[in-house]
Amino acid sequence: MVRLFLFRHGVAWPHGTPGLEDDDRPLTEKGERRVRQVARGLKRMGLKLEKIITSPLPRAAQTAELVAEVLSIPFLLEDNDILAPGNSAESIANWLKTRGEKRIMLVGHNPNLSQLLAYLTTGQIEPMPVSLRKAGVAALRDDPTGAFHIDWITRPRFIRKLREG
């Protein structure tokens, strides 16, 4: 059984920030803080991963690095262009089938991740059952037929509350 976790990057500098190309936008301080809080919530839940794969864009890569740091698994990080903005949900799903990991986190962007969630669970990208918020997480699992099912989806503020105990 594959356990798949989709993690949308945290709050980044806005589109059109002077001196920053869109692809180069990093997380804001607030974005970094909230990603760490969500990661602490995941740690408190006992999340175990075999790999964290991220879009190469800075805001997603920073998000993945922070999660890996909090979970003490920086050696599990990998970036892959398949998660960069603009790739279709179908191409990401087909690439995912080539992976051997059973517990994997994908860190990326919307609409890619929300469309992927829809595609994996319904076979279509529209209508999307949910749009992941920044630093939002969805947990899915597959069944013997290869179909994915949603275990849970959470708003960042709910999982951030788990960080304290």
Residue 140: CB atoms within 10 Å: 19
In this structure, what CATH number is given to the domain that contains residue 118? 3.40.50.1240
Q: Can you tell me the distance from the alpha carbon of 87 to that of 100, in angstroms, rounded to the nearest whole number?
A: 21
Per-residue pLDDT tens over the stretch 1-12 = 899 999 999 999
pLDDT the model gives residue 135: 95
Half-sphere exposure of 85 (CA within 13 A, CB side): 13
Count of the separate structural domains present in the chain: 1
Reported confidence tier of residue 163, pLDDT bands at 50, 70, 90: low
One-letter identity of residue 110: N
**What is the 8-class DSSP label of residue 108?**
E
Per-residue pLDDT tens over the stretch 17-69 = 888 888 999 999 999 999 999 999 999 999 999 999 999 999 999 999 999 99
The residue among 98, 120, 117, 99 whose CA lies nearest residue 108 is: 117
Answer yes or no: are the C-beta atoms of 53 and 80 closer than 8 Å.
yes
Q: Which domain holds residue 105?
A: 3-161
Per-residue pLDDT tens over the stretch 74-104 = 999 999 999 999 999 999 999 999 999 999 9
One-letter identity of residue 74: P
Bridge partners of 52? 77, 105
Q: Can you tell me the distance from the alpha carbon of 117 to that of 114, in angstroms, rounded to the nearest whole number?
A: 5
Per-residue pLDDT tens over the stretch 102-156 = 999 999 999 999 999 999 999 998 877 788 999 999 999 999 988 899 999 988 8
One-letter identity of residue 41: G
